[in-house]
Structure 1
Amino acid sequence: MTLDTWSDEIDHDEQPRERRRWPLVVGASLLALVAAYVAAAFLLGDRVPRGTTVAGVAVGGQDAATARATLARALGGASAEPIVLTSPAGEVAMSPEELGVGIDVDETVAGLVGFSLAPVDLWHHLAGGSDEPAAVTVDEDAFGAALEDARGELDAEPVEGSLSLEGGTATLTEPRTGTTTDVEGTVAAVRRWWPAEGTVEVAAASVEPKVSADELRRVKAEFADVAVSAPVTVTAGETSFTLEPKAFVPAIVLEADESGTIVPRADEKKLAEVVRAAARKADAEVEAKDAVVTFSGRTPTVKAHVPGVALDDASLQAQVWKAISTPTRTATVATKKVEPGFTTAAAKATLPKEKISSFTTYYKPGQARVRNIKLASRVLDGTYIPPGEQFSMNAVLGERTAGKGYVEAGIIRNGRAAESVGGGISQVSTTIFNAAFFAGVQLDAWTPHYYYISRYPEGREATISWPDLHNKFTNTTDGGILMQVAATDTSITVSFWGTKKYDVTATKSDRYDVVQPKRYTDDDPDCINQSPVVGFKVDVGRILKQGGKVVKTEKFTTNYRPEDDVTCTNAR
């Protein structure tokens, strides 16, 4: 073996030995580093990362016990201060106790310290912490109840806007968004910001109005500004007239549908009223006039009816609305001829043919009341009631006044005899009532006297007074009724001439519920002596027949109060 050969063999044996040593070195180094890392984690785990603050209180670098003491001392007073909750609608201050919130110092510190091998935690210890929130405890039931009680200050309903056309001017009022407080979100906000902040903004959801501001602006620009821009000129036949915006805007409806969209439309009834009023004023629409029947004695004269002119409803609505809605501002409305309800032909066909009823009542001559009876009879005589029309005695006579020739005479006032201008015409009313009763017409309104008066048929009579006591009936026969009223010094007779429709029979019960009068002495100078008359009830009926067959029966009860025995000691 040569020296070179030996040397080569030595080098070949040393190289594998060196390669086996380096893993041991690396492993030892890693173990050392891990040991150092773990040791650092142990050393730093019981301390709050440097630079850390909790709700603004510096606790960085402090061990757990020191940090707890620091936080307890610094945050202890927060539970005594009110928490102000704010929202877009308002604010409310409540104590932490009312809200059911508190600060858990132990939990707060526990979240900042503790052994951890996480690199990020070790980095925080070395590089420094941040401002952290305190651990806040929340009694969610108490918090929710307190927040519900505070909704009056924190929540707000949305306020709808409006588009007004009043006075012919388009005015837009912007809507306002409402707000409603979210409980869970507000709990999270309190956990995040309290006690570092004494004022916490609640979590709130916006509540939008039904109609958006954009929709109101659209309708104003596209419709409202156009609608009130100028008067509308309406042509009907040969006549034209104008409608000012302030006149027709009450007929415009700007209501939103469920989606909040406004589709302008017309209130058809109001629009027709506005247009027709202007048309009548301009004689573009003329009311038809009924035929008029007058009498000289029993001889009739028929004044022919006059046809009217009316705007066509469909044309009115379509054309006028189009003119309101567009810049054209003109409308041509069709017209039509209108016949009255009582035409000349109807008047002639329904002229009275025969006497259908008559009734007479009596009185003593020479009394002041006789003058009133005769005067009222002259006014009522010749009154004609077309078929289907209503007669009203007060409407024909009007108020009874001295200026019309009426004088003071006896009346019944509050159950006592008295005097008044026009007294006595209740006898005219009662006589008319009985003529109407036996004519078979529809009896609409009548009032019996307060107590029974022997000159009238028992149960069938009607007093009258201006303006509240009426005698009214409707002519339900097949022809017109001529009322003839004739008064003498001792009697009044009312006859109805027309077309007989019914044979009428009256019925009457015996008196019942009899009440005896009382006796009074009265020293009032306006007192009038009264003779006693018993009070009672009586049932009155009416049987209506056609061709011998009963077609209708009616019954009503008349209640008479007693006429008390009054002796006047100081009468005038």
Structure 2
Amino acid sequence: MSDDTAVLTPQFAPPPGGPGGNVSGDTLNSGIPVVPGGRNVPGDPMGTGPGGPGGPGGPGSAAPKPAAAARPAPKPAPAKKGRSKLVLLGVAAVCLLGVAYGAGLLMNHSDVPKGTTVLGVDIGGGTKEDGVEKLDAALAKRAATPLKLTVDGKETELAPDKAGLSLDSQATVRAAAGSDYNPVSVIGSLFGGERTVEPVFPVDEEKLGVALQDLAGASGTAKDGTIKFEPGKAVAVPGKAGKAIDVNRSMGSVRDAYRAQVETGTARAVELPVVTKEPTITQAELDRAMKEFAEPAMSGLITIRAGGKEIPFGPAKSLPQILSMKAVDGKLVDVYDKEAIDRLCAGVFDGVMITKGDGKKHQLSADDVAYAMKGALLGKTPAERTATIDLDGNG
């Protein structure tokens, strides 16, 4: 239908407080005003007015929700008193330790720090020389006590100094000397705490090996062949197999035994490992040594001259006291007893001077006589068995 026949809808006054006039676009072109949304009249077919299905008070309406209350700002948590106390206690403890550490450093300014001990001996609080004296006074006797050893059931002894074994007091104290900045040691020294230092036990491996080799020959049941010099003759003595010290394995056992003896002060017999050993001197070597040296040596007198003086050595008395033979690398070599030479010479060559390799003159010694004897013992005639020592050092 046309606009002039349209059904007119009544208008209601705006609610209190609402806008007083028409808003732009409130009327259609036909001039019929438009009711603003949300304001319906009773009987409105859209049901949005009061009492309508969707309006206020209608069956589908819900009670208006109150606005959510604003939450109050959270209050700052109170400081934990227990934690503050712990922090203060920690700071106090650190300060106390710092003071104690400083006091320890101030009081402990000696060469060897206080409380330093070696094998239970207190060597601290003084100079290095004081420390050496204290250590020697307490342990020197232990360190020099011969070791008790057992070889194949036979007991024997070994002197530490001959075996290259020792307690080095000076090296031990040097290792203990100097400032110790370890807080535990520094603070501990204020309360009598100990600082333990290991002793130094140097070992001369070569000397120990030689000592055990000698011990093997003296205490083992294995025997090398040799030649004995008896009045008027040389006698060949064949070797025999038997038990002998295992030198390589025994070196470790002896080192450990010595250390234990010094540490405890108790000398306990140590069983050394042994092996079955065959003689190193064969019958052929024994025959050679007899023919080339022993028999010629004992065939008659020899005479040694020097500085207008001379002395004879004979096979009946003198030579058996001087001569012997020793096994070295499977060979028998001649050995001369220098003490016996000095005793038998009885001062004959006193005042006789000889020029040595250093260009200086020295008193003629048993070494010089033994060297001259080597050539004379192999001579066949009286002239060949007489040796004159060259005092000018020319040979």
| RCO comparison, higher one (Cα < 8 Å, 6+) | 2
TM-score by length of 2: 0.33
Structure number, greater radius of gyration: 2
Higher share of residues assigned strand? 1
